[in-house]
């Protein structure tokens, strides 16, 4: 079942030429409730932020399921914390760990009482030896720093030893029809706010066809409604004909 079966009485729209809008940027989550993560994870994160009970966190799962967005939203809420971010895709070697990450994490509580938060995205792209040293650092600096890690793989493939005081979040692809409807309404609202003209039926078909891959939905909406600098290889209906 998908939202094609849930929506009636749609009015086709003849769309004039839209100004350029980067739909991937437009659709970035603005609050935790915008995420397509399971409700129990969102509720858990909200509770932690409300009570300021932040532990080390590991988000793991397939790409484009909301791991990085969740981490960025958490960081945006913790404005009083000193923060630093790294991306494993850009290369994190022994020098970066020793000269940048470790000094930040070991900051003195006496001389600098500000709480610290270090986000490392794509930790699965870091070499096994450096990850081993990183995990040791995370354990050693629990009194001065919290870490948020995101990985595009299963935790068992990354963790050969226990990460103490770390909460693991298994981020699965959303399959619930209600989440699919949520994505449609988010697009509907954000596109309207940005003044982008779109056809509701086409938007429903795009979401139904490509869900739960949120990046493909954004790419195809970009091509269909904006048509400039799109990563897609054709309009939605042209691709349907090819398939």
Question: Do 47 and 15 fall into the same domain?
Answer: no
Query: Residue 37, exposed/middle/buried by CB under 10 A (0-12, 13-18, 19+)?
Result: buried
Question: Do 9 and 60 fall into the same domain?
Answer: no
pTM of the model: 0.78
Question: Do 158 and 179 fall into the same domain?
Answer: no
Question: Do 61 and 122 fall into the same domain?
Answer: yes
Cα–Cα distance measured from residue 204 to residue 5, given in angstroms and rounded to the nearest whole number = 10
Residues 85-117: tens digit of each pLDDT: 999 999 999 999 999 999 999 986 555 666 899
For residue 239, pLDDT over 50 is answered with no
Question: Do 89 and 57 fall into the same domain?
Answer: yes
Query: What is the reported pLDDT for 141?
Result: 92
Q: Return the CA Rg of the chain.
A: 21
Question: Do 22 and 75 fall into the same domain?
Answer: no
Mean pLDDT (the chain, rounded): 83
For residue 22, pLDDT over 90 is answered with yes
Q: Kindly state the average pLDDT of the residues 119-137.
A: 93
Q: Kindly state the average pLDDT of the residues 115-133.
A: 93
> What CATH number is attached to the domain comprising 153?
3.40.50.300
Which domain-ending residue is among 146, 171, 196? Answer: 171
Gap between the terminal Cα atoms of the chain: 20
Q: Which domain holds residue 139?
A: 37-171
Which domain-ending residue is among 112, 136, 171? Answer: 171
Which domain-ending residue is among 152, 171, 190? Answer: 171
């Amino acid at each position: 079942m998908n939202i094609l079966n849930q929506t009636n009485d749609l009015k086709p729209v003849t769309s004039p030429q839209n100004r350029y809008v980067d739909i991937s940027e437009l659709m970035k989550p603005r609050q935790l409730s915008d995420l397509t993560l399971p409700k129990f994870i969102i509720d858990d994160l909200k509770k932690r932020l409300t009570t300021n009970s932040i532990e080390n966190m590991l988000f793991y799962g397939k790409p484009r399921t909301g791991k990085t967005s969740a981490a960025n939203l958490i960081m945006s809420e913790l404005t009083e914390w000193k923060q630093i971010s790294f991306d494993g895709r850009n290369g994190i070697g022994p020098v970066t760990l020793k000269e940048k990450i470790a000094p930040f994490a070991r900051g003195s509580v006496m001389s600098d009482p500000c709480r610290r938060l270090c986000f490392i995205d794509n930790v699965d792209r870091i070499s096994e030896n450096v990850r081993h040293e990183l995990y040791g650092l995370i354990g050693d600096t629990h009194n001065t720093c919290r870490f948020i890690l995101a990985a595009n793989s299963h935790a068992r493939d990354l963790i050969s030893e226990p990460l103490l005081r770390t909460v693991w979040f298994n981020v699965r692809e959303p399959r619930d029809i209600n989440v699919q409807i949520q994505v449609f309404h988010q697009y509907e609202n954000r596109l309207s706010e940005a003044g982008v003209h779109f056809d509701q039926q086409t938007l429903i078909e795009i979401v139904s066809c490509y869900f739960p891959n949120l990046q493909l939905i954004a790419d195809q909406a970009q091509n269909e409604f904006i048509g400039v600098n799109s990563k897609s290889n054709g309009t939605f209906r042209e691709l349907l004909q090819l398939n």
